[in-house]
Amino acid sequence: MFNLPDKKRALTILVSFFAGLSLILFILDKLFVDTSNDSIVLDAPVDIVKDAYEGRITYINPNFYPEDEITYALTSSRGDRVILLKADDDKLTVVEGLNVKVYGTLSRTLDNKEDVLIVSEVVINNVTD
């Protein structure tokens, strides 16, 4: 062949064989292995359906619902209670007495007798015509 001694010739053939095998395995891996799922996929954000109610924010005695710590309700223009309101911050205090549209998730009182809106957003209604 190239007049190499037998040991060198055998070593050259062996190294060439493993290099060729490695190249073939690499190519086959890239051709047939699906790598599109190698990335981490986070759950897509879920749109939370918010309930909306309109009326006037009215302070109520906290002793009526002491376990629930509810101090506000939404009332209609006639003064009828629409729904109890609860928030994690002071947004209801700021808009007390105003006509608003409130958005949030519907819940129940601890005694499971009345609906409560856990308010996440308050929009003040425009009072000018």
pLDDT of residue 27: 84
Return the residue matching tokens 């003040």: 124
pLDDT of residue 48: 61
| Count of structural domains within the chain | 2
Could you tell me if 69 and 105 lie in one domain? Answer: yes
Model confidence, pTM: 0.60
φ, ψ of residue 24 to 5 degrees: the values are -65, -45
Could you tell me if 69 and 90 lie in one domain? Answer: yes
What CA–CA distance (Å, rounded) separates 103 from 119?
6
pLDDT of residue 54: 93
Could you tell me if 11 and 56 lie in one domain? Answer: no
Could you tell me if 37 and 60 lie in one domain? Answer: no
pLDDT of residue 61: 92
Q: Is residue 60 part of a domain?
A: yes
Q: How far apart are the first and last CA of the chain?
A: 101
Q: Is residue 129 part of a domain?
A: no
pLDDT per residue of the chain (129 residues) written in tens, 0 to 9: 455 677 888 888 888 888 888 888 888 877 776 655 555 555 555 556 688 999 999 999 989 988 888 999 999 989 899 999 999 999 999 999 999 999 999 989 998 899 999 999 999 987 664
pLDDT of residue 40: 54
pLDDT of residue 20: 87
pLDDT of residue 34: 61
What CA–CA distance (Å, rounded) separates 119 from 126?
20
Range of the domain at 26: 1-41
What CA–CA distance (Å, rounded) separates 37 from 108?
42
Q: Which of 55, 63, 126 is nearest to 85 (CA)?
A: 55
